[in-house]
Amino acid sequence: MTQDERTGLIVAGGRSRRFGDRDKAVANLAGVPMIRRVADGIAPVIDRLIVNCRTEQVSAIRSVLAGYDRPVRFVCERTPDTGPVAGIKAGLRTIEDDAYTFVTACDMPLVDSDVVAHLFNRGQGHCAVIPKAEDGRLQPLHAVYRSSEMVAACEAALADGQRSIRAAVAALNAVIVPPAELRTHGSTTTFENVNTPTALQAVSERFE
Ligand SMILES: Nc1nc2c(ncn2[C@@H]2O[C@H](COP(=O)(O)OP(=O)(O)OP(=O)(O)O)[C@@H](O)[C@H]2O)c(=O)[nH]1
């Protein structure tokens, strides 16, 4: 792998509690499993995909990603349920220090590859590029990171007892991309996430 190669990292190790008794990663969204929509959405702008999840999720996720047109690798933490920051750290530790990775969640099926391409382009020479949604909130689970700095930021947050990704990225000297800039490249619906069956239904209707 060279530093010019771009990785996608999808964290999917959550318990989907608000979703009910199913894993939202593989929930059917208008005929396509949600994580497959995320993976397909970013395929045009990545060279390889890493999926971070619990060991018992691997089989179902591997099967919905069958035939994906980029190499796929699974990274599972030894201790599950330690939060997305631990998942990001685990995934990023497996790639080169200088490489850039788009990190996202399994529940962001409207991800816009034109927005992601812009984040990668803005990232060159910086340790992180974090966009803001229309409501002004940072979207660190839809952002580009250089591995070494983000791994260090995750380790520092975890050592400090912080599980929140916003806490982890606070120490990074990140480029912040406002929604007005993103809109000139793609759609800020890219940030919409699906936490409940009702949200799944609402997003499904957009694909019909
Ligand atoms: N590896 C890992 N990923 C996680 C963990 N918790 C959440 N995630 C992932 O982080 C992303 C955002 O988390 P949430 O939207 O809160 O997902 P969730 O925790 O499965 O859902 P709820 O239980 O309803 O909060 C999702 O892609 C989750 O799969 C965790 O403990 N470990």
Q: Residue 139 maps to which CATH number? A: 3.90.550.10
**CB 57 less than 6 A from any atom of ligand 1:** no
Separation of CA 184 and ligand 1 centre (Å): 30
| DSSP SS3 for 48 | strand
Separation CA 52–CA 7 (nearest Å): 13
Number of domains the chain contains: 1
Q: Are strands 175-177 and 32-33 parallel, antiparallel or unpaired?
A: unpaired
Structural domain includes residue 1: no
Ligand 1 atom nearest to 90, measured from its CA:
1
Structural domain includes residue 143: yes
**CB 38 less than 6 A from any atom of ligand 1:** no
Q: Rounded to the nearest 10 degrees, what angle do helices 34-42 and 113-123 cross at?
A: 50
Q: What is the per-residue pLDDT for 1? A: 42
Q: One digit per residue, pLDDT tens: the chain, 208 residues?
A: 445 789 999 999 999 999 997 999 999 999 999 999 999 999 999 999 999 999 999 999 999 999 999 999 999 998 999 999 999 999 999 998 899 999 999 999 999 999 999 999 998 899 999 999 999 999 999 999 999 999 999 999 999 999 999 999 999 999 999 999 999 999 999 999 999 999 999 999 998 8
Separation of CA 15 and ligand 1 centre (Å): 6
ipTM: 0.98
Task: Determine the structural domain holding residue 75 and report its residue range.
Answer: 6-207
